[in-house]
Structure 1
Amino acid sequence: MKSTAVLLAALSLAVAGQASVAAASDHLTDVDWLKANRCRGLAAGFGVNDASSLDTLIKAEGRNRQEIVYAKGQEEQTRGKRDAAKTDGKDRYEAELNGYCTAFLGGKSTASAR
């Protein structure tokens, strides 16, 4: 159990570093844009009050996406919101929200925003 938590924390930090690099570049890749959409769904599902920076990012970056990628982004938001509502695995989804999603949320701690 403890080794799983350590592994999850290490994975979250690694992914957060990748998201930070992607957010610092001029434009997000399709994969990073899809991750941002999942983060938006998780944020909505967990009741994060201030996700305006994420909304702005998704809207600005979504303008030039192919239709299939845009549709997948909508699916990721829906899936993230649905996952946040689940009772089993809630810790994992909160770790995801507090992990790499903070890069898309402007570096704010999402735990205090709930």
Structure 2
Amino acid sequence: MRIATVTLAAAATLMAAGSALAAGKVTDVDFIKASRCRGIATSSAADTADLDAWLKAARRSRTTSVMDRAAVAEDAGRREAKTTNAERKARLATELSGPCQAFKG
């Protein structure tokens, strides 16, 4: 049941992120979520080149407060990815291969 809930939440997030990106306007929330994804990917030794390019393009016109929140989200993602808890690692892997993919292209 829990896996189904996580999968459903990931799919909903992916659809919301995909529609926001398709509109061509990147919201502050999307930028902060992408920063969290970068933190998770960095700690997981995943390739972050596409994500870095997306963040660089989306960085324009962000306020200082949004940049600060994005930095906090990235640090939190990085810290959370260093866990030894198998359930949490699985959830983060699902997040990285699901909703985070919307920010890679």
The two structures share one fold, judged by TM-score above 0.5: yes
Give the match for residue 69 of structure 2.
72
In structure 1, stretches of 5+ residues that fail to align are 107-114
Deviation at 1:63, TM superposition (A): 2.2
Q: Whole-Å Cα distance in 1 between the matches of residues 55 and 100 of structure 2?
A: 13
Q: In structure 2, what is the equivalent of residue 111 of structure 1?
A: none
Equivalent residue number for residue 103 of structure 1: 102
* Residue 29 of structure 1 pairs with residue 35 of structure 2: no
Identical-pair percentage: 34
Question: What do the CA deviations read for 1:46-97 (whole angstroms, capped 9, x no partner)?
Answer: 1112x22211111121121110111111111111111111112111111111
Displacement of 1:21 in angstroms is 1.1
What's 2:89 paired with? Answer: 90
* Corresponding position of 2:41: 43
Amino acid paired to 1:93 = L
CA displacement at 1:25 relative to structure 2: 2.2
- Matches of 1:47 and 1:9 in 2, distance apart? 23
Q: CA RMSD in A?
A: 1.1
